[in-house]
Amino acid sequence: MKIGIVCYPTFGGSGVLATELGKALAQKGHHVHFITYQQPVRLNGFIPNIFYHEVQVATYPLFDYPPYETALSSTLVDVIKNNHLQLLHVHYAIPHASAAYMAKKILEQEGIYIPVITTLHGTDITLVGRDKTYAPVVAFSINQSDAITAVSQNLRDETFNTFKIQKPIEVIHNFVDVERFSRKPIDAFKKLIAPNGERVLLHASNFRKVKRVEDVVQIFHEVNQQIPSKLLFVGDGPERGVAEELCRKLNTCDDVHFVGKQEQMEDILAIADLFLLTSQYESFGLAALEAMAAGVPVVSTNAGGLPEIMVQGVTGYMGNIGDVQTMSHQAIDILQFDERLNEFKKNAAQHAKRFDIHNIVPLYEQLYDEVLSKELVH
Ligand code: GMT
């Protein structure tokens, strides 16, 4: 199959998921064309069957806001036509679903049919998508898609509650390559972070408000008072300053490392004992799943789709949003004794297998086949 994938090329979960999907499809022999404004971060090295097309956004003195969506639609028309793509899979509704719709309509006039699949990832529905500056276009373009998927049951329900959607939404959960994340810790790295055998806690995100990173610092502070620990913050974003400020206030800076955006999550997760995810909302929580695949238990909130991947008291624990006391006790419970920690680690790794790449990617292929066979009927 010749498939076009549109996504955000950054470290965000939707771009990571889309890139991993494209790589997995290419490995299975499909030709995958990524169309985006920058090389996706997880698309490193030469990979057979993968093609990358950069969207060039021409600037002009008149443009205070260069029209990326128009440039994307035009690039899509060009790439679909010249590479004979059979379907387009767009990740994150804004502005990808509406750009895809525009390209589809342009090509229709030339007698070319290109079905569009839209995968909803979270904030495109629950946060920015419902803002009235975007909502009508988001709802319209989702409804115009030939198939719609959501990354969790919770996001599917949120979408139906938020917009008038007239089509079915199929739930296809996020996935992880369990084998890739099953790494042995690099001893020298572990020693560098935790020289005296401290427990290593980890948080990775884009540091947006929705992640409540100050709760991560609070929980770490509570844990560190009882169990000698270190905290690694991976990623960067607008709330990083808030987290740093709180570390200073709590006098815990020496035990907290902000390591910035990192590509080798497998190696970092391999030295971690606990992953913290304190979000106000997570449609799924891919970062938590990657942690579990690496054998790292998770303490998270019970927001959004997190209860769909976590098993309370088995893979970790969930607490209510903002309840740092409960989540601190949960973290201490996991970390206190080696034997208990190892049990949680084993359970997390075991449970992540349900979401293994080999179980989930065929669901997308099946959907592609269904969409293409509908085209033949018409
Ligand atoms: O919130 C992020 O980390 C980024 C965001 C994105 O759109 O790139 O992630 C969303 O999509 C991921 C992949 O489907 C989900 O696993 C995340 O839970 C979701 N984030 C939110 O819903 C806040």
Tell me the pLDDT of the chain averaged across its residues.
96
| Mean pLDDT value across residues 202-227 | 97
What pLDDT does residue 166 have?
95
Helix (H) or strand (E) holding 260: strand 256-260
Chain segment 100-127, per-residue pLDDT in tens: 999 999 999 999 999 999 999 998 898 8
Cis preceding-peptide flag for 95 (omega within 30 of 0)? yes
Residue to substitute in 14, 213, 216 for testing ligand 1 pocket (most ligand atoms within 8 angstroms of CB)? 14
Q: How far apart are CA 356 and CA 345, in angstroms?
A: 17
CA of 19 to the centre of ligand 1 (A): 14
Q: How far apart are CA 150 and CA 161, in angstroms?
A: 13
- Please say if the pLDDT value at position 375 is more than 80: no
- Please say if the pLDDT value at position 377 is more than 60: no
Domains 2-175+357-377 and 178-355 belong to one CATH topology: yes
What pLDDT does residue 263 have?
86
User: Can you give the pTM of this predicted structure?
Assistant: 0.95
- Please say if the pLDDT value at position 210 is more than 70: yes
What pLDDT does residue 280 have?
97
CA angle 136, 138, 140 (to 5 degrees): 65
Report the atom number in ligand 1 closest to the C-alpha of 289: 16
Question: Domain map of the chain by residue range?
Answer: 2-175+357-377, 178-355
Report the atom number in ligand 1 closest to the C-alpha of 122: 22
What pLDDT does residue 183 have?
86
What architecture (CATH level 2) is domain 178-355?
3-Layer(aba) Sandwich (3.40)
| Mean pLDDT value across residues 191-203 | 97
| Mean pLDDT value across residues 6-23 | 94
CA of 353 to the centre of ligand 1 (A): 20
Query: Residue 32 in contact with residue 50, Cβ under 8 Å?
Result: yes
What pLDDT does residue 37 have?
97
CATH code of domain 2-175+357-377: 3.40.50.2000
CA of 137 to the centre of ligand 1 (A): 21
From residue 271, alpha-carbon distances to 191, 192, 231, 308, 355 in Å are: 9, 11, 11, 26, 22
pLDDT band at 378 (very low <50, low <70, confident <90, very high): low
